[in-house]
Amino acid sequence: MNHPTKQRLLEVGLAMLLKHGYNDLGIQAVLEATATPKGSFYHHFKDKEDFALQVVDAYMEQVHAGLDQCLGDQSRTPVERVRYFFEMTEQKYREEGYMGCLLGGLGQELSGVSEVFRRKIEECFSQIASRIAVCLDTARGSGEIPADTDTSRMAGLLIDCWEGAALRSRLRGSAAPLNAMLNFYFRSAFSR
């Protein structure tokens, strides 16, 4: 378990990274928001990059917990479980004021200038897509989707579409792009 000070820094850092992005995030602002001395920050993190990467790890813990909850819900069909994950994610975005996806925001901001962040963000998206593909494999095995479905490709495309809709959602401050994308994707991808 994380040290309470470190946990608080990560939680506040997540909210601030969502709102301001990496380049506009000042460590001093994080310290002030958490009433943390500078020495305590550097006890837990080497530098700003290390801090942001650990925020991404903490974010991914939340994502994996959501995947566990939704994809493990045996009361739903596998395809319903996948959609449920994205519906629950949309609810979280709504609670945060449609700030979007931390991975998408950092990826857009940093992938062209930081190989470390480019690899990290791509790895995170790949992990999410892999978990969704496993659930879609179950759907394929049960006949819920056609036997010749490329579930890895389908899961990757879903993540790509979601990230674009998350950006539009942030721009509009509305769930409309997310809901339209989900409706279109699930109607198109899973209709027989």
Give which of 25, 31, 171 is closest to 110, Cα–Cα.
Answer: 25
Domain for residue 38, yes or no? no
- Residues of the chain below pLDDT 70: 1, 192
Helix (H) or strand (E) holding 149: none
pLDDT tens, residue by residue, 134-153:
999 999 999 999 999 999 99
Rounded CA gap, 184 and 181, in Å? 5
What CATH number is associated with residue 71? 1.10.357.10
Q: Is residue 129 part of a domain?
A: yes
Residue 28 is assigned to a structural domain of this protein: no
Q: How many domains does the chain have?
A: 1
In a domain, 84, yes or no: yes
- 173 in a structural domain: yes
**155 in any annotated domain:** yes
Residue 34 in any domain: the answer is: no
List the domain range (segments joined by +) for residue 152: 47-189
Q: What is residue 192's predicted lDDT score, i.e. its pLDDT?
A: 60
| CA separation for the pair 16, 10 (Å, rounded) | 10
Tell me the pTM: 0.94
Whether residue 8 lies inside any domain: the answer is no
